[in-house]
Amino acid sequence: MVATATPANPLLLGKGLPPFDEIAPEHIVPGITQLLKELETELANLEANVTPTWEGLVEPLTELSERLRWSWGIISHLMGVKNSPQLRDAYEQIQPNLIQFSNRLSQSQPLYRAFKSLQASETWNGLESAQKRIIEAAIRDAELSGVGLEGEKREKFNQNQLELAELGTKFSNNVLDATKAFKLKLTEPEEVEGLPESWLGLASQTARAEGEEDATPENGPWVLTLDFPSFYPFMQHGKRRDLREKVYKANISRASTGEFDNTPLITRILELRREQSELLGFGNYAELSLARKMAPSVAAVEDLLGELRDVSYDAAKQDYENLKNFAETDDLQPWDVAFWAERQREAKFAFNAEELRPYFPLPRVLEGLFGLAERIFAVEISPTDGTAPVWQKDVRYFEVAKAGEPIAYFYLDAYSRPGEKRGGAWMDDCLGRGKVTVEGKTQVRLPVAYLVCNQTPPVDDKPSLMTFEEVTTLFHEFGHGLQHMLTTVDYPGAAGINNVEWDAVELASQFMENWCYDRATLFGMAKHYETGEPLPEEYYQKLLAARNYMSGSGMLRQIHFSLVDLELHHRYQPGGAETPKDVRDRLAKTTTILPPLPEDAFLCSFGHIFAGGYAAGYYSYKWAEVLSADAFAAFEEVGLENEKAVVETGNRFRDTVLALGGSQPPMAVFKAFRGREPKTEALLRHSGLLAS
């Protein structure tokens, strides 16, 4: 699949693979301006001539939406992976125009009436499940986008939408800039005592990039950043407690002071969200958010989180007491936890995370991951580097085939680039599956995914040597990618992850993480990067034993984030007696063991809920983890050593969860795979928290 010749402005191509080698920031404003002008004309024509049928309404509207999604999707992607001042300026300049057009489109009365007529027509019963779900979602989304508002209320709603979009972009940029702004140069050997070779190599490489030409892993200087591959190993292994405190405090106070301060943005975002929900007739933003989700109510979410809090709190408290005893101190501070947890893990399981790195070079991990996909989903994955333009030289491109026929493609952007790439890991949609007409013939457009991670880059002549956590992250994002790529739905509005309720969308990704502990999968990829020797059996047993190490603490942390998010969007009153930080500190009393420090401004970098799609939805990770753990339990029940049964179960998972996308409600999809509704038992068992 090769990008075709582009028009004068590559952002107006509108189809095929993005020509990343031709796109520049100066294309954005003229390109999107022209595109919006053309789409405005198309929309007006459609409104004037719409007929309430699939062919007369949904197909032309999909075509219009897909053109916009193609061009704007490229720009949004580059904002995450290739951020620059020029790109930001162009993005911020054109974003208001895009929001105005999106409001105009989602609030179109003629289209809304046509959807309602189609739903009420005699042809409704003859439509496929996917078509019905797309129409129902269009009606719901129009109503949640203010189609029923008029006059001043509509004007206010649209102004708020515009401001919210601008605030989200600013929030994200502030986090990126604040992360980038912190650099700590270490020059004395005792400042880096305890740090592993991999960290010293990365820190000296960063120092060279900062102008210290003679920096070496052995002699320094070493530059520490708040980028995760630099920050977290330092917290785990750095022996200098004063430096750990300094770095920890810098991390938790990111984007909370000075020019990058997100505090006023948080206040305003919450205010506007509450206003928007009230304009639409909801009591609060959490209710509005859940109108699009699998969970039936805020109470149902709080019940699940409450159940998980009850089992994880005491376990987390015990984790902390054990750590204090191990460290032989009553003064265990937040900047000590990762350090002593790693020492305790070493003592308890006789290994540390760094020892495993040589066994997880990225090329081998990819072999193992692709081998698993071939084994349980009957797909073949092969590199096709050079056949697609990329945005950065390290980006890879792969083909996914079934029975020798290509069915999808994906980009892999694996390495951390703190200067231009936002933190975390994600999957995004480059091209979605759908029927398209080419030269008068209908054919299926194959899906293409972006898989983005922020793992340790290659250092000097070594490949990227991954921590086990980075391995599970890659498997996680690949799970999202599989749902996007293995869909069999031909309608873009319900293919892959489209139209999958947000709190079910983590099912496939979290499901894939479980395979990192599967013997056949692990030994298929864990091979020493120099000798090719497989991971020693003792390490595998230690990994299994350590799987639930401090799992109560890990679960409680996620519940803390989920409940803070829910409270801010449900009960919190903007302008009331409590600030957002007060809310967080109050909830911390029952959802953390160590209370947040006074300077802890975690909310100021909580991009998931203030600049991502997780507002009043962070609980989705735990909601979906119940589904994913129960799904993996289906494989455990038939026996992970029983190859025939594992393959049969894998094919069933592929043909339901991965194939059906948003064509059916997530509960129906889960039941099609599992034969029943989900239970929490598997999640608690996998976490080592099931009461015996």
Per DSSP, the residues of 541-591 read HHHHHHTTTTHHHHHHHHHHHHHHHHHHHHT--TTSS--HHHHHHHHHHHH
Backbone angles phi, psi at 668, to 5 degrees: -65, -40
In order of 378, 407, 657, the CA distances from 403 in angstroms are 8, 10, 20
Tell me if 469 sits within 8 A of 549, measured CB to CB: no
Taking CA 179 as the corner, what is the angle to CA 211 and CA 476, rounded to the nearest 5 degrees?
Answer: 110
CB-based contact 410:448 (threshold 8 Å): yes
Between 78 and 353, where is the model more confident? 78
What integer best gives the mean pLDDT of the chain?
Answer: 95
pLDDT for position 691: 62
> Residue 474: which residues within 8 A CB-CB, separation 6 or more?
365, 369, 414, 425, 451, 453, 455, 466
The one catalytic residue in 302, 470, 477, 501 is 477
* Phi and psi, residue 179, nearest 5°: -65, -45
Q: Where are the alpha helices (DSSP H) in 350-427?
A: 353-356, 362-377
- Say which amino acid occupies 20: F
Inter-residue contact 27 to 11 (CB < 8 Å): yes
Question: For residues 510 and 503, what is the distance between their CA atoms, to the nearest angstrom?
Answer: 12
Interval 308-317: pLDDT, tens: 999 999 999 9
Neighbours of 689 (CB within 10 A): 18
Taking residues 641-663, what's their average pLDDT?
97
Query: pLDDT-based confidence at 666, cuts 50/70/90?
Result: very high
H-helix or E-strand spanning residue 153: helix 151-181
The angle subtended at Cα 407 by Cα 404 and Cα 411, nearest 5°, is 110
Confidence of residue 298 (pLDDT cuts 50, 70, 90): very high
Residue 375 contacts residue 649 (beta carbons within 8 Å): no
Taking a C-beta distance cutoff of 8 angstroms, is the pair 618, 565 a contact?
yes
Find residue 415's DSSP bridge partners: 455
Across the strands, what pairs with 441?
438
Is 556 within 8 Å of 311 (Cβ atoms)? no
CA nearest neighbour of 569 among 584, 589, 591, 585: 584
> For 438, phi and psi rounded to 5 degrees?
-125, 120
Burial of 463 (0-12, 13-18, 19+ CB in 10 A): middle
Asked if residues 425 and 476 have their Cβ atoms less than 8 Å apart, the reply is yes
In tens, the pLDDT along 244-279 reads 999 999 999 999 999 999 999 999 999 999 999 999
Helix H or strand E segment including 184: strand 183-186
Pair 485, 447: CB distance under 8 Å: yes
- Tokens in use for 247? 């770095």
- Alpha-carbon distance of 522 to 178, in angstroms, equals 37
* pLDDT, average across residues 175-193: 96
What is residue 223's three-state secondary structure?
strand
Q: Would you state the pLDDT for residue 466?
A: 95
CA angle, corner 571, sides to 565 and 572, nearest 5?
A: 75
Q: How many CA atoms lie within 13 A of 634 on its CB side?
A: 25
Confidence of residue 347 (pLDDT cuts 50, 70, 90): very high
| Residue 4 pLDDT > 80 | no
| Count helices and strands in the chain by DSSP H and E runs | 26, 9
Residue type at 183? K
- Count the helix, strand and coil residues of the chain and give each as a percent rounded to the nearest 5: 60, 10, 30
What is the average pLDDT across 116-136? 97
Does pLDDT of 225 surpass 60?
A: yes
Q: Which helix (H) or strand (E) holds 427?
A: strand 426-431
pTM: 0.92
Residue 56: Cβ within 10 Å count: 15
Please tell me the predicted confidence (pLDDT) of residue 690: 79
What pLDDT shows up at residue 423? 87
Buried b (16+ CB within 10 A) or exposed e, 576-604: eebebbebbbebbeebbbeebeeebbbbb
- Residue 192: pLDDT band with limits 50, 70, 90: very high
Which residues contact residue 325 at a Cβ distance below 8 angstroms, ignoring those fewer than 6 apart?
none
Across the range 612-625, mean pLDDT stands at 95
Active site residue 641: no
When pLDDT is averaged across residues 484-502 and rounded to a whole number, the result is 97
Between the CA of residue 7 and those of 19, 22, 23, what are the distances in Å? Answer: 11, 11, 11
CA 182 to CA 287: how far, in whole Å? 38
Q: How far is CA 193 from CA 69, 182, 456, 560, in A?
A: 50, 21, 20, 33
> DSSP string spanning 85-103?
HHHHHHHHHHHHHHHHHHH
Contact 318, 307 (CB under 8 A): no
The model's pLDDT over 357-416, given as tens digits with 9 standing for 90+, comes to 999 999 999 999 999 999 999 999 999 999 999 999 999 999 999 999 999 999 999 999
Q: Look at the chain and count its residues.
A: 692
Helix (H, G, I), strand (E, B) or coil at 84: coil
Of 89-93, 324-328, 350-354, 628-632, where does mean pLDDT reach its minimum?
350-354
Distances (CA, A) of 684 to 269, 517, 627, 628: 35, 17, 12, 12
Give the relative orientation of helices 551-570 and 263-279 as an angle to the nearest 10 degrees. 60
Percentage of the chain lying above the pLDDT 70 cut: 99
- Omega before residue 361 within 30° of 0, cis: no
What is the rounded distance in angstroms from the CA atom of residue 326 to the CA atom of residue 566?
Answer: 35
pLDDT 10s digits, 526-571? 999 999 999 999 999 999 989 999 999 999 999 999 999 999 999 9
Residue 196: what are its φ and ψ, rounded to 5°? -70, 165
CA distance 326 to 343: 9
